[in-house]
Structure formats: C-alpha cells, structure tokens
Amino acid sequence: GESVGLHLPTLSVQEGDNSIINCAYSNSASDYFIWYKQESGKGPQFIIDIRSNMDKRQGQRVTVLLNKTVKHLSLQIAATQPGDSAVYFCAETGNTDKLIFGTGTRLQVFP
Amino acid sequence: EPEVTQTPSHQVTQMGQEVILRCVPISNHLYFYWYRQILGQKVEFLVSFYNNEISEKSEIFDDQFSVERPDGSNFTLKIRSTKLEDSAMYFCASSGKVNTEAFFGQGTRLTVV
C-alpha cells in the first residue's frame, strides 16, 4: 500500500521557462545554506551553496538568493529543462556541521 | 569524479535482526555522516563522525544504532535490533571540511519485514 508522508509542494513549469523554488529556514544562527536536487531513488545531489555573508550566488543556470532578515532562501533555475525534474531541498547548518533539511519541493517540467 | 559509495543498494531484513550498512566516503574527506529518509519525507540527520568519534547525534540515533570506521576507507552504520519503523533510505555523506558541501551516496533502501 501507499505510505503516508509529507505532502510535497509541487511547482509545474513549462520547458524553457524559469523556475523559482522557495524555502524558509528556521535557525537565525545558520550561516551556511545548500540546495540539493534529489531524483527518484537517488541520493541528494549538490546544486549550489551560499554563506550568510552573501545575498546572492550564481552558478550555471542556477542562482541562490538569501534574505537573512526574513530567513528565506530561493533557488532560481533558468531555462528549465526536463532533466531538472526532481525534488529540491534546501538545507542549513549553524553552529554544528549537521545539515537540517527542509521538506522539499517537487519540480515538474512539462514540454 | 570522486563519489561516496554505499552497499548494499537494498537490504531486506526481519524485525529484530541486526543490519550493517556500509559506506566508502570520498578518500580525503574527514567528516562523515549518516542520514535517513522515510519514503516521501524529508532527509533527517542521524549522526556525524569526526576523528574516530561521534561528534553529534540526533534523537533518532538511540542505543540500537552505532557507527564505526573499522579501517581507513569504510564507514558503517549498525542497527542492532531492527524495527518496522527503521524502514527507510539511509544515506551516507562525507565532507572535507566542516560547514562545506557534503557529498551523498546513492543510499541503501532498508526494508524491515
């Protein structure tokens, strides 16, 4: 039978459009943040990170924005492709090195 | 590209049995972790390990759990007496420095029946 789990928010975008995935983090003392991508049946895969002394960081097709005032993190994916379909998790670390993961957002890309 | 490898990919065990999940972290990394993910839920921290000892553990990591680095390459998670609720994906991760990118393995799916 189907197991009960958290209902993941889902973002559906058309191929070629830009995607924005949002995350609210909990600990104001957190100073390092990572976005991970998880495809079905696989482990989390690093996408991009940012430290608390920055507001924005860009990678290849991805940008992370950090708003410490409201404890908000976002991931922007430019020109979304079918291969971007996955669950995206933000994670934070504070005064310890353990990662605290958010609940995740499912990104669905349709043609 | 270096990667974290985990074995087995899938383990089925009877309730009450002991299981050992194995991981080979990236070779020059010093910080090792176990996380778990119950189906459809978020990834949860279990334990971190540095300098041959546990540096932090979560409430999930009770007396039934233990970790070991038996040699210079392997990092294991042992569950002494498995329960049905231990069924989950277990991910090993490693990093080279504290508060830097952690690399995850592909996971071991543990099914307790």
**Chain B residues within 8 A of A98 when measuring between CB atoms:** 33, 45, 48, 56, 58
Report residue A9 as tokens: 């928010």
Among A33, A99, A100, A103, the residue to mutate for chain B (most B Cβ within 10 A): A99
* pLDDT tier at A26, thresholds 50, 70, 90: confident
CB-based contacts of A57-63 (< 8 A; 24+ apart in sequence): A62/A35
Residues of A with Cβ-Cβ distance to B42 under 8 angstroms: 6, 89, 101-104
CA angle, corner A103, sides to A101 and A108, nearest 5? 120
Task: Sort out which chain A residues have CB atoms less than 8 A from B43's CB and list them.
Answer: 44, 89, 91, 99, 101
Q: Is the pLDDT of residue A3 over 70?
A: no
Query: pLDDT tens digit string along B72-90?
Result: 789 999 999 999 999 999 9
Q: Do A101 and B102 lie within an 8 Å CB cutoff?
A: no
Question: B24 CB near a chain A CB, below 8 Å?
Answer: no
Mutate to test the interface with A, among B56, B84, B87, B104 (most CBs of A within 10 A): B104
* Residue burial A32-62, b: 16+ Cβ < 10 Å; e: rest: bbbbbbbeeeebbeebbbbeeeeeeeeeeeb
pLDDT score for A50: 96
Distance (Å, whole) CA A2 – CA B12: 18
| E strands in A1-85 | 10-14, 19-24, 32-38, 45-51, 56-58, 62-67, 72-77
Give the best residue of A27, A42, A97 to mutate against chain B (max B CB count within 10 A): A97
pLDDT at A4: 38
* pLDDT tens-digit series, residues A49-97: 999 999 999 999 999 999 999 999 999 999 999 999 999 999 999 777 8
Strand partners, A100: A92
Please state, rounded to an integer, the average pLDDT across all residues of chain B: 95
| E strand residue ranges, chain B | 5-7, 10-13, 19-24, 31-37, 44-50, 53-57, 65-68, 75-79, 88-95, 103-104, 108-112
- Are B35 and A99 within 8 A, CB to CB? yes
pLDDT, one tens digit per residue, over B38-66 is 988 889 999 999 999 999 999 999 999 99
